[in-house]
Amino acid sequence: MDATQIEPRRIRGAMLAKSKQIRELKPGLFLVPSQSHGGSYVVDAQARTCTCPDYATTGQPCKHVWAVEIRMGRVEVPEGTTLVTQTKKPTYQQNWTAYNAAQTTEKERFEILLRDLVKGVVQPAPKKTGRPALQLADVVYAAVTKVYSTVSGRRASTDIRECEQKGLLTRAPHYNSVFRYMEDANLTPILRGLVEQSAMPLQAVETDFAIDGTGFSTCNYVRWFDERGMEKKTQAWVKAHAMIGVKTHVVTAAEVTHGNQHDSPLLPMLTERTAKNFTMREVSADKGYLSFSNYEAVEKVGATPYIAFKENSIAGDGPAIWKKLFHLYSFQRDEFLAHYHKRSNSETVFSAVKRKFGPSLRSRLETAQFNEVYCKLIAHNIVMVAHSIHELGIAPQFWAQKTTEGRVA
């Protein structure tokens, strides 16, 4: 057999077969070390099964199974075969003209698009006494601009004043005023709605979605005493749960919670909120979202759920959509995985948000931390819309439909 015809898993298995740490627990049952961490996996040589995640996902012999079979002499590696083969790296087409134009004009377009977005924020009724309130649209504009600049509120004041000079906001608010508004819980539903509205220009493009959650670290710490009376502490963090469009990587709906909030219960809500603005064809998610109710919630909006099944999952008495997808997963796994693996786009989005706007939060109070995360997602969406102008040729328009989401009466 030519070296280029050997499967990559078999090649890695041949390398792993040289390890002296592979040991036989009992006849036909082997303990194979992991190459990525300090643990090990159990391989059943007769059934050709393994306890590793790769086998659980694909159902095909993994490198650990190949290593055992080569070790037992069942599979021969031809003499002179080079076990390190050079495979052609996949390439992806990139419209560099559109990409360069999007990058070089991003900030200018960001400022204009943000202005168009905050125009939909309705000013609350004025108070009868006290100083006149700031324009809420100006406050939101300043808060998102501060997050986009990735600097402190004081240093972002220069950018905000420049936007005032350009006529993009009525009056540049003082940084202390922005901080005070960010600590107001009444601002949270407004920012949450603006996340959804900022994705609206791409509603004709997105039909496939992925859902996941990610954490943002804070400057706060949680302290406690263990059973021996020793003081312990850990960094507190908040969690963003988001529905992602897999084509443009726009966030169509989001919910920010405490760091210990489980992902699964939020799928029905995020799916319903996305379905109000988008035509949903499919939703992919990892095993953390696996439940009867989540399968039914996705089906309810007319989409197909591709949520990964666990090792102990069975068709059982589940709903019809559960049984249908379970049989697809069992007998046509390649087809199921082709849809399921779209969920990796959510990790791409979270990575992009953290690399561009930072993985940590500057705010100290919890409400301000939640609002800061929403500002990061709004900024990300506007950037995606700005890039889509060049790459997809769209003409973005916010508040095209009559809606009260994100507005204040």
Each residue of 310-321: pLDDT tens digit? 988 988 888 999
Q: Give the span between the Cα atoms of 6 and 83, in whole angstroms.
A: 9
Q: Give the span between the Cα atoms of 386 and 66, in whole angstroms.
A: 48
Q: Comparing 35 with 144, which gets the higher pLDDT?
A: 144
Q: Looking at residue 344, what DSSP letter applies?
A: H
Nearest to 346 by CA among 284, 389, 407: 284
CB 356 within 8 A of CB 363: no
pLDDT score at 81: 46
Q: Comparing 297 with 1, which gets the higher pLDDT?
A: 297
Give pLDDT tens digits for 339-367.
999 999 999 999 999 999 999 999 999 99
Alpha helices in 168-319 (DSSP H): 175-182, 188-198, 267-275, 292-300
- Sorted by sequence, the CB contacts under 8 Å of residue 403 that are 6+ apart come out as 197
pLDDT at position 204 over 50:
yes
Q: Give the span between the Cα atoms of 127 and 140, in whole angstroms.
A: 20
Could you tell me what percent of the chain has a pLDDT over 70? 90
Nearest to 68 by CA among 87, 43, 95: 43
pLDDT at position 338 over 80:
yes
Give pLDDT tens digits for 42-78.
899 888 899 888 888 888 888 888 888 888 876 655 4
Composition of the chain by helix, strand, coil, percent to 5: 45, 15, 40
Radius of gyration of the chain (CA): 26
Q: Give the span between the Cα atoms of 96 and 90, in whole angstroms.
A: 18
CB 252 within 8 A of CB 260: no
**Extents of the domains making up the chain:** 3-72, 98-187, 194-391
Query: Average of pLDDT values for 159-185?
Result: 95
Q: Give the span between the Cα atoms of 161 and 180, in whole angstroms.
A: 18
Q: Give the span between the Cα atoms of 7 and 4, in whole angstroms.
A: 8
pLDDT at position 2 over 60:
no
Element spanning 36, H or E: none
| Number of CB atoms found within 10 A of residue 354's CB | 16
CB 85 within 8 A of CB 6: yes
| Number of CB atoms found within 10 A of residue 128's CB | 5
Enter the tokens of residue 303: 């989409």
Nearest to 143 by CA among 408, 385, 362: 362
- Sorted by sequence, the CB contacts under 8 Å of residue 323 that are 6+ apart come out as 315
Give me the chain's average pLDDT, please: 88
Enter the tokens of residue 178: 């922005």
